[in-house]
Structure 1
Amino acid sequence: MFYLSRTGNTEGPFTDVVIADMIRSRLVDDGHVCPVGGSEWTLLSAHPSFQAAIEERRLRESAPPPAVAASAAAPAPPVATPASVRPGSPNAPPLPVRASAVPLPPAHPTPPGGLQAMAMQPQAAPPVSPASMGPMPAAQPAQPMAPNAGPMGPGSMGPMGPGSMGPMGPNAGPMGPGSMGPMAPNAGPMGPGSMSPMPPHVAMAQNGMPYGPPPMGGRPSGGFAGSFSVPPPEPKSKALVIAGAILGVLLLLGGGGAALAYFLVFRSATPLAQYFPEGTEVYAEVANVKGSALSAVQMGFLDASKIDEKKSLEDAQNGFANAFDLSKVDAARVALGIDGIAFGGHDLDKKGAVAIVVTWSDAKAAETLFKSARFNAEGDSEKGGRRYSLKKRDVSFEQKKGMSLLESSLSGLSLKASDKDDQLVWYPKQKVLVLANERGLNEIAPVVDGSQKRTLLAAPAFAAQKSRFGGKGLTAWIDTSVVKGEKAKDVQKYLEGTSPIVLSVGAEKGGVRMTMTGEVAGLDDQLGRLEGWLDAPGLTLGKRLPKETVGYLAFSSRSKLSGKDARDAFMKSLDKEESTKGFGKSVEDGEKALGAELTTIFDALGDEGAIAAVAKSGYRYQVGATPSFDDLAVVYVQKLKDKAAAKKLVDTLKQKIAGGPVKITGSGDDLVAEGEKPIPRVELRFVDGALVVVAGPKELADSTYAAFGGKGSLDGDAAHAVAVSSLKAKHAVLWFDLGRIGDTALAALPQAKDQAQAMGVDLGAIQLTGDRRMTGALGITFSKEGKKLAYTVDSMNMPVVFGAAAAFGMQKKAMKGLSGRKDDDDDVKPAFGSGFAPAPAKATMTLTGGNGSLTAKDPNDKNKDTKDSAQAKAAATGGGDFPAICETMFERYDHCVYKAVSSAHRPGLIKGLRSSVTKQDPSFRPRMCQSMLEAAERTHPGCK
């Protein structure tokens, strides 16, 4: 690894392969380098690899024209050159410096075709020439590695060797987060608001460390050989995180080059809305795909040392290249050629128009993809452009077992030429790729080719939000007119005349930020009573909760209304809606049973309330166990406006429960209620103008009241502050300690770690403990906009929660689809976190008998006994006639997928699994078992 100075500024560090490629591509003409951990700057030409790159470029640029090349001496016989000694590889000897393109000395025979032929052959970026400079003498000493350089894998040849991936060889050592130029291992710290590392001398200066400037203009300063001091080893960079399939592929396939990284990060992007018609109702874009991926490196809860970056890189390279039968050089070019991706459509309640648009910076990169084996040109589209079909990659079950998730997913993609609702059309002049249904293509084609000038950018509703588009991350726009139809009429009245909903998702220091804005109409008669609530000053109760808190909801309860007016308004709102009419009678019955009216309750309520879940320190969830109030507690806190009214309610409560199964103790206004399990212990106290109620063990009650006394609260928790402090949240805050929840979940479900590790991602990279652990928060703020209620939903890391929930839902659906069962059949349900793992089916048989004999009794037919022990046992265990692959699958799930489940629960899971297979037609069972075995082997590789 080397620091680089071209103009007096320090760049890097970079690998020697990256710097050599920058020389070949003229990003670097001259300058100085200093090895990381070293103390001297030396000229580029003093380093053997860089001198070789300089000479190689000079020879290529000074080569004579083809006519002269034709008269060159006959080429030497082709000789395969070992990858380890080719120019650009770490062990290559230096090339001799020459002033003109003349034949090399005997030790370096002329390559096939001569120097001129080699130099003038068509050059994709970068040149690939398997025997570019002929064989090198074996006696030359190996080039030494620079201090702190990453390990060089076999075949790591930089840009010249076969298998090279553009500027970076496929095994060129681990790359830093999104290492597409200046981002590299041990990069300097991130500057405020910056996507690239600060130059080391700036970082050192900010930390009060002395640092001398590099030589200006690439010239050496004083001292021996132009040497001078450089900083000590730089701090560790943040880790690479794959942020979704497309973003991950682009990030991991990215090559080197400082200019490229700056282009990717700081380049502004034009909203892709210019390619969609004005009538679009739903639109979403990632306008700068590569910049969005790079921005993920700044998330503070990542641990750089815990991600297998080399495996992630290699998996992405191999997966993308293999899926489309591309070389790694071409795969990199294709991935880096993509600029942005967008989706749009309208009339989604019926067969509407939908389209996906992919924009490219490099048309030849796209055409490289279309020339691959799986794509087939279908001729010119009726709507302009060239249409392509995509065939599914033909792979066997055995081949799939060794694939990464990325390769497997890409291999399964297909688009048939006969399908009018899956049309893939390429517009080379505009460098735009469109995937659309027939109606969508009919509408979007004239916009893309420029014949229709009215685009979504001209729509007034979109134009008002245009400034929020074109940046990094995902941004979505939804015109509320998209909600239509008879079934939606109850919702339409709240959306009539409202501005579009705008959603944005992006990465920042605290994590993944998601913001949504919109409006609600139809509340004219309620806005008056909401005035006091809308003026809420902010929420503060959350940070006063105990540090053992796992999650909480804090909310504004401020009101200018009296208790009576608040009750009347509440009852009136119940009568207004069809769904709640008649509920007022239930409220009145509840008031009588409690012995207190809502009027008293509303009078007591102050500005803010909170409900929290708290768990003992060190608590661990056990799969199959039922959580209890021995380890957990629920806390309710309410600020009070009228303490006397609150005390009246507590006194009424004491009277109601006195003499029952609950024992009441406590002095003064405090109350402690204890009963037989499962009734939890409940403690109530008045603290600093608030009512604090804890249902749970005394240990957690004590820590809660201590926290409100200023000891051991979330106020001192840095991770809580990072998630909550930046939110726009005046009316509600929902917070989860995702780190603690994740730590507990992984301890209970260790197979989740195996599943992630199989994809090259170590979940240990997400910090789950300490002040930098990941937490999630969601805040809501309302404001009055004329006769409408405007809202802002702001969240940090909540997409992680939503994504996990969605993944679980997809897993459940996949399980049902795999088994060929309908959604309304709930006998078999997938168990959380266990892959395609069904829970126990409903018992249909009971076993009795002795002396080696079994009698099965069907509870639905008490008069029927079956004495065939084999048949009875099979029925009782969900068994049947299974092919060998099914028995292998059952064994794999028992020993691998369900390994974290207690031995008491595992037989029931296997029984349910067998039962789900039994329900299938015998001809379908092998296919089902093969698919489930494939899933088990993918998530638990190597487990038998």
Structure 2
Amino acid sequence: MIQSGQVTSGQISQPGTEQWMPIANHPPFAQALHAGAAAAAPPAAGGYPPVGAPPAAAGYPPVGAPPAAAPGGPMPGPGGPAAPKKGGMGIGMIIGIVVGAIVVIGGIVGLVMMLGGGGGKLASKVPKDIEMYMEVPSIPGALSDFAGMDVVNAKEIDSKKQIKDVRKGLEDAFGIKKADAEDIMASVESIASASRGMMDKEQSAVLVQFSGTDGMEKLLKSDRFTDEGEFANGTRYSLKSVEMKDINMEDMAKWSMPRKSFSFMSVSKESKRQRWVWYPDEGLLVMGNTSLVEDIGDVVTEGADSLADTEKWGEAKFESGAAAIGFVDSKILKDIKGDEEEKIVKGYFREIAPFSGSVELTGAGMLISMRGEMKGNKIGEDDELPSAATLDLYEKLPKETVAYLAVSMKRDEDGKALKKRMLKKLKSIDEKIGEAVGEGLNEMRDEIGISLEDIVDSVGDQMIMAVAAKTKFAFDEKKKPQEYIDDAGFAYIVSVGKFADAKKVVKVMREKLFEDGPMKEAYEVSKKGKGFDAKPKEEGQGMPTVQVRLTEEYLLVTGGGLAKRFVEALEKDKKTLADDAAHKTALGTVSGSPRMVMWVDIGRIGKVGLDWVNDQESMKEEMKEQEKELGISTKALKVKGDDRVTSLVAINIDSSSDTWTYHVQSLNAPALGILAGASMFMKSMGGSDEVLIPDTGIAFCDALVSSKFSCGVRTGDEAMKKDARMDERVFKDTLREDSSQKDGMEKVCMKRHMEFIKDHPQCTQ
């Protein structure tokens, strides 16, 4: 699971103790993280995960995860949180929460890759004050849903190996029979995670629903589990981790990831913070913070009000037939403190509906839908947002296009009205700024002969920016920059509003930029119809050719080696993206009338990258080893042909009075949002001075540096933080100068890390 990227964080403790640490700081798990999840960001050394970040439990096998890995609720440890700062949390915090709420929906991806769909079932099992909730309601349909994804080569996924690894992991880690392990796997029906107290004392829990109880009953009778009696109207169990002293490290290195995950699960009898409770009549396993588990027990056995009974749950909008759903109560924003922060919440996020989202498995891939609102006195009138328009300029792009961004420019106001409104708003904020901008626009008009009003009126209902590359584009270290320019092209196309104003724009571009402007010495200019060509002179060698074309309908500005193809596609409809089957399939997943669409041909781009890797002997061998280990080939996703994988993001915004309602649809493109949200939130929680993400090249050394630095953050020991940074530089420099020392450094770092944990109990308790 770690190597497949489904588990990237979590907490473990030494057997029989309450001393928890992040899995990234435990050498065997750190090695697995480093080897199999190099593309994923390591856990933050000194801060909480982003609000709404996917729970570590999401990637554990169906039997569940240790409560310490429950969403958003990490135990303190070497990678634990820094002491909270005094005062307001800042604008970055608010943005981080809002982005993080959206990221919650992206977090469902780890679950959905192996689990299937339905409606929200377990929401009726959790208390009404839950603030963040994720659920995969129906697991049995997972394989059929996944098989329906045309972008996946099922034959390149060794599902038998993956299933065997989980089954064998259960057998070996708990000492149960093969038939019992299979029974457990077959009976897992739904899984959910729930959290509350997001802005204060967070409590989290994971719920696993089973269709049958025989397998679980036998698992709970295995040696590592102990019946601790009644709790919350169910049966409480403690779980021992495997004994480290009984494990041969060389043997453990050969364990599968599921076995490692199962082996180090634990919850102590003495723990006052965590409970694992089994409800046999319900076939429900609950793992989480004690208080929340108690309240879940009241809902399950006493009929207390549940999340599903609340008005806020009723306001959430989930897509019909979704494979997974996510929910964040927007009322958590009310708990933000600080005068400036409260103004932002009132201005943009006042009394908004919950953040909600869904995941669907389609033929084109995984479609994530996110819904929410922006509301308040800072949200403008309808005319500040472009209206919905038919975004079809992609039909004028060449088939070689690999990415584009299309945006609606449709407005009910002309340039004069827009300028007046813009200056009025600026003056309402600052009179002097408004006057200065107005004077600047007038000076621009007098200097270059065109006004803001002319430019605005020249634009029609839509625009598109695009990048294209030759069909046989390839990376080559021997290529010169000019060769890459010749193999690619860019374009800006806008539908024409007032043709007379569009002609002014083209005239100003030609004269003020090329003929008499800064590009005069580098380019030779020649008129072409109502447009022009600008070709590099000798002084401009290495710069791209630029072509501008103007028709009654479109204005095109294009450059690079494929500029000619953009012109042909516009003027002759020759071999355009409109005929591309994979692009059509991606667009077919979008509902409504989006105001913005971004499409990227990740299949073609991915193929270029894979081809390059396959040409590197050392990387090719490493990739083969990873494929064998994971049971998934790099050919699992189709990167060529009509069924190749592409990504798309579509945004629709409806406005009324002081409310904007948005709907974001993302096809095969969650990663950027997750990384952006996580990065923003981490910065808001302390900035780069409080976070160190080591990359020494050795997992054990990364773990040592991370533990030392985060301990320094937690204790306020600046010398320890400085020492951690110094260690990182020394490790990196040593390995760079002599890679043969890697094995020795691994042993040294592993030993030093264990000694550090032992010598600094204040950072592990």
Decide: shared fold, TM above 0.5.
yes
Partner of 1:775: 646
Q: How does 1:211-610 map to 2 (within 5 A)?
A: 271-381=121-231, 383-393=232-242, 394=244, 395-452=247-304, 454-465=305-316, 473-484=323-334, 485-486=336-337, 488-489=341-342, 490-522=344-376, 526-530=380-384, 533-534=386-387, 536-573=388-425, 582=433, 585=436, 589=440, 592=443, 595=448, 596-610=450-464
Of 712, 717, 734, the match for 1:879: 734
Answer whether contact 2:324 2:360 (CA < 8 A) is retained.
yes
CA distance in 2, matches of 1:807, 1:313: 33
Partner of 2:568: 706
1:715 matches 2:578: yes
**Residue 308 to residue 584, structure 1, CA distance change in 2 (3 Å):** farther
CA distance in 2, matches of 1:292, 1:763: 21
**Residue 398 to residue 311, structure 1, CA distance change in 2 (3 Å):** same
Answer whether contact 1:830 1:836 (CA < 8 A) is retained.
no
Letter in 2 for 1:384: N
CA distance in 1, matches of 2:269, 2:225: 11
CA distance in 2, matches of 1:781, 1:830: 43
CA distance in 2, matches of 1:361, 1:877: 51
Answer whether contact 1:324 1:369 (CA < 8 A) is retained.
yes
Equivalent position SS for 1:502: strand
Answer whether contact 2:348 2:379 (CA < 8 A) is retained.
no
Partner of 2:560: 696
Answer whether contact 1:289 1:472 (CA < 8 A) is retained.
no
For residue 248 of structure 1, report the CA deviation from its aligned partner. Answer: 6.9
Letter in 1 for 2:494: Q
Answer whether contact 1:548 1:616 (CA < 8 A) is retained.
yes
Identity of counterpart residues, as a percentage? 26
Answer whether contact 1:247 1:289 (CA < 8 A) is retained.
no
**Residue 562 to residue 519, structure 1, CA distance change in 2 (3 Å):** same
Per-residue CA deviations over 1:553-598 (Å, capped at 9, x if unaligned) read 10100011110211233344556679x9959857965874673432
Letter in 2 for 1:601: I
Number of matched pairs: 589
For residue 880 of structure 1, report the CA deviation from its aligned partner. Answer: 8.7
Equivalent position SS for 2:419: helix
**Residue 247 to residue 875, structure 1, CA distance change in 2 (3 Å):** closer
Letter in 2 for 1:461: K
CA distance in 2, matches of 1:682, 1:429: 72
1:672 matches 2:547: no
CA distance in 2, matches of 1:624, 1:450: 72
Partner of 1:661: 521
Equivalent position SS for 2:380: helix
Partner of 2:85: none
Per-residue CA deviations over 1:457-493 (Å, capped at 9, x if unaligned) read 2211213448758x55111122211223126431453
**Residue 309 to residue 614, structure 1, CA distance change in 2 (3 Å):** same
Partner of 2:491: 635
Equivalent position SS for 1:420: coil
CA distance in 2, matches of 1:806, 1:413: 31
Equivalent position SS for 2:422: helix
CA distance in 1, matches of 2:623, 2:679: 16
Per-residue CA deviations over 1:677-736 (Å, capped at 9, x if unaligned) read 554332211145111111322xx1111112222111111100000011231243111111
With CA pairs under 8 Å and 6+ residues apart, which has the higher RCO, 1 or 2?
A: 2
Partner of 2:605: 741
| Aligned alpha-carbon RMSD (Å) | 4.1
**Residue 305 to residue 357, structure 1, CA distance change in 2 (3 Å):** closer
Partner of 1:21: none
**Residue 545 to residue 380, structure 1, CA distance change in 2 (3 Å):** same
Letter in 2 for 1:281: E
For residue 774 of structure 1, report the CA deviation from its aligned partner. Answer: 0.7
Answer whether contact 1:519 1:791 (CA < 8 A) is retained.
yes
**Residue 611 to residue 467, structure 1, CA distance change in 2 (3 Å):** closer
Per-residue CA deviations over 1:401-433 (Å, capped at 9, x if unaligned) read 323333333333333333333321112222221
CA distance in 2, matches of 1:598, 1:529: 17
**Residue 876 to residue 782, structure 1, CA distance change in 2 (3 Å):** closer
Letter in 2 for 1:723: A
For residue 390 of structure 1, report the CA deviation from its aligned partner. Answer: 2.8
Equivalent position SS for 1:656: helix
Of 653-662 and 610-619, the range deviating more from structure 2: 653-662
1:924 matches 2:752: yes
Bigger fraction of residues in helix? 2
Letter in 2 for 1:878: D
**Residue 441 to residue 307, structure 1, CA distance change in 2 (3 Å):** closer
Answer whether contact 1:529 1:560 (CA < 8 A) is retained.
yes
Where does structure 2 lack aligned partners over 5 or more consecutive residues?
Answer: 1-107, 614-619, 703-728, 757-765
Letter in 2 for 1:768: V
Greater CA radius of gyration, 1 or 2? 1
Answer whether contact 2:700 2:750 (CA < 8 A) is retained.
no
For residue 608 of structure 1, report the CA deviation from its aligned partner. Answer: 0.3
Answer whether contact 1:430 1:449 (CA < 8 A) is retained.
no
Equivalent position SS for 1:636: strand
**Residue 546 to residue 288, structure 1, CA distance change in 2 (3 Å):** same
Answer whether contact 2:411 2:461 (CA < 8 A) is retained.
yes
Normalised TM-score (structure 1): 0.56
Per-residue CA deviations over 1:900-941 (Å, capped at 9, x if unaligned) read xxxxxxxxxxxxxx9xx99x989638999xxxxxxxxxxxxx
Letter in 2 for 1:388: Y
CA distance in 1, matches of 2:652, 2:696: 37
Normalised TM-score (structure 2): 0.68
Partner of 1:31: none
For residue 442 of structure 1, report the CA deviation from its aligned partner. Answer: 3.7
Of 366-375 and 725-734, the range deviating more from structure 2: 366-375
**Residue 538 to residue 417, structure 1, CA distance change in 2 (3 Å):** farther
For residue 670 of structure 1, report the CA deviation from its aligned partner. Answer: 1.8
Answer whether contact 2:404 2:600 (CA < 8 A) is retained.
yes
